Amino acid sequence: MLLAIDIGNTRIKAAVFEENTLLEVVVFSKETLQEKVQSILKNHTAITDLIVASVGEIGRKDFLVWDTTVKIHFVSHESLFPFQNHYATPHTLGIDRMVLAAGAVLQFPNQNRLVIDAGTCITYDFIDAKDVYHGGAISPGIRLRYESLHEYTANLPLLSVENFTVDEHKQAQVNLIGSSTQESIHSGVVNGIVNEIDGFINMYSAKFSNFIIILTGGDTEFLAKRLKNTIFANSNFLLESLNQTYQYKIKND
């Protein structure tokens, strides 16, 4: 049994796997890392291995307390991945982006893949049908856009997606034409991101055939229902990719 941990910019997600079966997902703050991991290990005593992908300050030393309990695998740029990395600066490429690319290769073989991770930042990662990673793009995520409008202007309020009006179908409404400052901010942020993502997808789709688009990250559910393009949406894709990266490592060591 495996415990996979994704340490992002704002939070930590952990998942328990029995081979390819996802048993449990836990989301928590960085401040509660020790107690949450200890609780998971206590509740799942069959866990033998722990794999970690971190883009934050939390590193291997923060997991040494469990090194006599489980075998710890900390994903790094030197780890074994199922693709050729053609990024011009490979050691600056985020570990999370590398894990997502690995998951895309292992789960969707022999096709072009675009992985879109909608979290604190929105990252776009392209891996071709020959399993070559080329790179992609990085832009601000939903929360960052709201915060920047507030922090870098004198009078704009700090908003979030929680400020939306919800209709009778429990669908958060975003007007194209904002009739107030708040509605205008929501329109700019949400419609801007949706059109950005659809635009990227259209440009990639025009250039490459045999193509799959994978949407993941914390804002997956919110964005998936608004996009015009057909996508594979899975908010737990990074955790599943961590599990697949672990299995790939075990098979190829």
Which residues are known catalytic residues?
96
Distance CA 128, CA 83 (A): 9
Amino acid at 187: S
Torsions phi, psi of 174, nearest 5? -125, 110
Nearest CA to 216 among 198, 231, 196? 231
Q: What six digits make up the tokens of 220?
A: 């997956």
Closest CA to 211 of 96, 85, 110: 110
Segment (H or E) for 18: strand 12-18
